[in-house]
Amino acid sequence: MAGTIPPQRILLLRPSALGDVCRTVPVLTSLRQTWPEAEIHWVVQSKFAAAIASHPALTGVIPFPREAFRGSWRRPMQWAAVGSWLRGLRAIKWDLAIDCQGLARTGFMLRASGASVRVVDRAAREGAWLAGTRRVVVPEGVHEVDRMLALAEDAGAALSTDDRLHVAQTDLTWWSDTVGSRGRYAVLASTSRWASKAWPASHWVELGERIIRDGHAEWIALPGSSGEQTVVAPIAAELRQRGIDVIDYSGRTSIGQLMALLNGAAMTVSNDSAALHMAAGLGGRCLGLFGPTDPAIVGPWRRPESAIRATLEPGECPAYRDTSLGDSIMRRLSVSDVYARLVKLLAEWKA
């Protein structure tokens, strides 16, 4: 859109997943840097809205109630609600809309927005590319953030590297009141939606013990969703048996409180999960553990040192959705190697 009338109303489409929402922030900051007077609204799943709602570059959030709309094509009673939501989206009369997700549902939103300029990745899946007026060819193998930034650049935005997340004041107050007085702590984000991305529980216990015994932290925080409590609880129990001060936060924090917890941590070690991408945007004091997924594409952006990957055999190309993998690849990452990388990072963060 360079050389044309600047867009006044911009729609950013990235509803999910939580980690992907967090790492879409450079697109937002690029748009704001280029068009400081524009209104910029972001369609995001209702339950993830807190991750970006406090960002100063954002004019507003448009919550997408995915759970309420799930399977609506099979439930005629839901059609009216979906139609009403889409009409509300279209009513704003967007000048520019960018689909950073590239799936059927966001492609449908992109088309329904009625934006005069609709930008999408030419390789978007499920036919989503058909909704675009500008279909951007992005080189294969680039980092996911760079892929999304290519869409913003095609729309005329000057690119920003600002990936900072912003924590709401209410959540910072929660942290100050409940966590801040306990001293220096490490967050170990031991959970993952996919078993193939999960480091073994025994490894987390050993890592936590080394962190405390060597004086890098005074206590351990273990985050997780309510559905992950059965994964986190045994790790917490084993650490306590070894005399480690630990708090199990699984199922006990909102997204905003999790952000505050990560923001105040001396370090975060995480599987390839939302907690890692949050930590990357909250000061970058993080180390991500990778196995079947490639950190060059989905790791902490512009922080290659903050990712460590299990060794793959020549020609091995595992798919993280392959349920037969279990933790077989992640198990190849030794505690010693992870700890050595963490100690090196801690020294660099202090420098």
Q: What percent of the chain has pLDDT over 90?
A: 92
Torsion angles phi and psi, residue 186, rounded to 5? -115, 135
Structure tokens at 287: 């180390």
Q: What is the mean pLDDT of the chain?
A: 95
Name residue, tokens 């935005």. 157
Shared domain check, 220 and 184: yes
Measured distance CA(163)–CA(191) in Å, rounded = 24
Structure tokens at 283: 């000061």
> Position 279: which residue type?
A
Shared domain check, 184 and 124: no
Shared domain check, 97 and 218: no
Shared domain check, 287 and 259: yes
Strands 117-121 and 39-45, bridge-based pairing:
unpaired
Domain range for 203 is 169-350
Residue 69 has pLDDT above 80, yes or no: no
Which pLDDT does position 2 carry in this prediction?
A: 47
In a domain, 160, yes or no: no
In a domain, 2, yes or no: no
Q: Write the CATH number for 261.
A: 3.40.50.2000
Using one digit for the tens of pLDDT, what is the confidence trace for 92-121?
999 999 999 999 999 999 999 999 999 999
Residue 273 has pLDDT above 50, yes or no: yes
Which pLDDT does position 78 carry in this prediction?
A: 72
Using one digit for the tens of pLDDT, what is the confidence trace for 184-240?
999 999 999 999 999 999 999 999 999 999 999 999 999 999 999 999 999 999 999
Sign of the dihedral defined by the CA atoms of residues 102, 122, 42, 223, in that order: positive
Shared domain check, 329 and 185: yes
Q: Which of 79-83, 229-233, 242-246, 287-291 has the lowest mean pLDDT?
A: 79-83
Residue 72 has pLDDT above 70, yes or no: no
Shared domain check, 183 and 126: no
Burial of 351 (0-12, 13-18, 19+ CB in 10 A): exposed
Which pLDDT does position 91 carry in this prediction?
A: 94
User: Angle CA(111)–CA(6)–CA(120) in degrees, nearest 5?
Assistant: 30
Measured distance CA(157)–CA(30) in Å, rounded = 6
Residue 80 makes CB contacts below 8 A (sequence gap 6+) with none
Q: What percent of the chain has pLDDT over 70?
A: 95
Shared domain check, 147 and 16: yes
Which pLDDT does position 294 carry in this prediction?
A: 97
Residue 162 has pLDDT above 70, yes or no: yes
Residue 3 has pLDDT above 60, yes or no: no
Confidence of residue 81 (pLDDT cuts 50, 70, 90): confident
